[in-house]
């Protein structure tokens, strides 16, 4: 079993990358809408969308826009917007290869999610921290974060993250050469993928089981 797939999550979904042309069109449209918005939650939502689009192709710009969104979200007390802003900021740093900075932002996201008692983002942040440690080949540090994330997912019945939790646990146990545990979690991921009837996820799980 040799699955070397990392899952970074945006808004809790596995998203396909847009073409550069489509991204530019999307950004232009969002920036036009931004000019018509006030300093409220709608502005944060639009800034977050722009930050996401930039994170895929121009991460340096993504960081700047995400920071603007985070500052406004914190100022107006919009916790969900703040958590999403931090997500896109961390993803942009990760796409630049700055894993230490991405880790710093994910830890900040975790702290805010704990403060607001947001189970989804607690699990989400912990999973991404595990991914960053995995990217740095620090597998023994990654495992506890994956396990804690998985526990929160189970307790809070966060079904939309269950597949990714199982797949990441399968991957980390594979890297740690704990083949029985790796197979068990890859099998759970495969079952979840079949329940979703998602061809992409089924294929990813099969890579792990192979």
What the chain holds in terms of domains, given with CATH numbers, is 20-209 (1.25.40.10)
CB 134 within 8 A of CB 5: no
Q: What is the pLDDT of residues 64-99, one digit of tens each?
A: 999 999 999 999 999 999 999 999 999 999 999 999
40-54 average pLDDT score? 93
Q: Where are the alpha helices (DSSP H) in the chain?
A: 20-34, 41-57, 59-76, 79-95, 99-115, 119-135, 139-156, 159-175, 179-196, 199-209
* pLDDT exceeds cutoff 80 at 14: no
8 Å CB contact between 62 and 29: no
Residue-wise DSSP of 53-79: HHHHH-HHHHHHHHHHHHHHHHHHT-H
In this prediction, residue 17 carries a pLDDT of 44
Is residue 82 within 8 Å of 72, Cβ to Cβ? no
CA distance 58 to 53: 8
| Predicted local confidence at residue 15, as pLDDT | 43
Choose the weakest-confidence range: 41-45, 92-96, 199-203: 199-203
**How crowded is residue 2: how many other Cβ atoms within 10 Å of its Cβ?**
10
pLDDT tens-digit readout, 173-198 = 999 999 999 999 999 999 998 888 88
Span between the terminal Cα atoms of the chain, in Å = 5
Phi and psi torsions of 137, nearest 5°: 60, 25
Instruction: Write down the pLDDT at residue 23.
Output: 66
Average pLDDT, the chain: 87
The residue among 145 and 207 whose pLDDT is bigger is 145
| Rounded Cα gap, residues 92 and 104, in angstroms | 13
Rounded Cα–Cα distance for residues 51 and 67 (Å): 9
pLDDT given at position 135: 92
Share of the chain above pLDDT 70, in %: 88
12: its two tokens? 């809790």
């Amino acid at each position: 079993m040799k699955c070397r797939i990392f899952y970074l999550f945006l808004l809790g979904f596995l998203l396909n990358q847009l073409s550069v042309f489509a991204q530019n069109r999307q950004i232009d449209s969002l920036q036009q809408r931004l000019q018509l918005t006030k300093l409220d939650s709608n502005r944060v939502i639009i800034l977050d969308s722009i930050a996401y689009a930039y994170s895929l192709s121009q991460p340096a710009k993504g960081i700047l826009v995400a920071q603007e969104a985070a500052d406004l979200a914190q100022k107006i007390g919009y916790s969900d917007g703040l958590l999403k802003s931090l997500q896109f900021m961390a993803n942009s740093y990760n796409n630049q290869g700055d894993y230490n900075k991405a880790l710093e932002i994910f830890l900040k996201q975790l702290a805010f999610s704990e403060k607001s008692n947001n189970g989804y983002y607690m699990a989400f942040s912990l999973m991404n921290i595990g991914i960053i440690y995995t990217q740095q080949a620090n597998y023994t540090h990654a495992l506890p974060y994956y396990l804690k994330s998985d526990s929160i997912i189970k307790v809070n019945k966060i079904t939309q993250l269950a597949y990714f939790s199982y797949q990441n646990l399968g991957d980390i146990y594979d890297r740690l050469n704990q083949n029985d545990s790796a197979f068990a979690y890859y099998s759970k991921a495969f079952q979840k993928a079949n329940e979703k009837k998602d061809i992409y996820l089924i294929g990813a799980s099969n890579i792990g089981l192979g």
